[in-house]
C-alpha cells in the first residue's frame, strides 16, 4: 500500500470513529434497542463492519451512565440485551447533534470555496 492509500485509510477510520458514538446514540434515542439491531442499522449505513467495534463502545457508554441496558428473555434462543439512553445520554446526544450540524455546515462552506 502506498503512502497516500494508507493516509486515506487512516483518515476514513478516524472519521468513522468520531461519528460512531453519535450514530449509536441516534439509534437508541427513541427507546430500547437490541444490540443486533444497532449493528444491522450501522452496517446498512456503512458505518461499521465488525461487531467487535460496537460492543466496547456500548460497554463504555453504559459505564459512563449515558446508556442503560437490561436483559430480556427471548422466545428464540438466549436472553437479549437491550440498550436505551439515560437522561445524560439524551443530553449528550443533543450536544452532539448541535456539534455535528455546525461541523457539517462548516465543511459544506469549505467545499463551496472561500466564504
**What letter would DSSP give residue 30?**
T
Residue 113 CA to residue 115 CA, distance in Å, equals 6
Domains identified in the chain and CATH numbers: 6-110 (1.10.10.10)
Contacts of 74 (CB under 8 A, 6+ apart): 80
Residue 42 CA to residue 107 CA, distance in Å, equals 23
Q: Which three cell numbers stand for residue 7?
A: 493516509
Q: Which residue has the cell 455535528?
A: 100
54-97: per-residue pLDDT in tens?
A: 999 999 999 999 999 999 998 888 899 999 999 999 999 999 99
Task: Identify the helix (H) or strand (E) that includes residue 45.
Answer: none
Q: Is pLDDT at 1 greater than 80 in this prediction? A: no
**What letter would DSSP give residue 46?**
T
The pLDDT score that the predictor gives to residue 74 is: 85
Q: What is the pTM of this model?
A: 0.86
Amino acid at each position: 500500500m502506498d503512502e497516500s492509500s494508507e493516509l486515506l485509510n487512516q483518515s476514513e477510520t478516524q472519521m468513522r470513529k468520531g461519528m460512531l458514538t453519535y450514530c449509536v446514540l441516534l439509534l437508541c434515542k427513541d427507546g430500547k434497542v437490541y444490540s443486533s439491531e444497532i449493528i444491522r442499522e450501522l452496517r446498512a449505513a456503512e458505518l461499521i463492519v465488525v461487531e467487535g467495534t460496537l460492543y466496547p463502545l456500548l460497554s463504555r457508554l453504559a459505564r459512563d451512565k449515558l446508556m442503560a441496558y437490561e436483559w430480556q428473555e427471548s422466545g428464540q434462543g438466549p436472553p437479549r440485551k437491550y440498550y436505551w439512553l439515560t437522561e445524560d445520554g439524551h443530553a449528550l446526544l443533543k450536544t452532539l447533534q448541535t456539534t455535528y450540524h455546525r461541523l457539517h455546515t462548516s465543511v459544506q462552506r469549505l467545499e463551496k470555496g472561500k466564504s
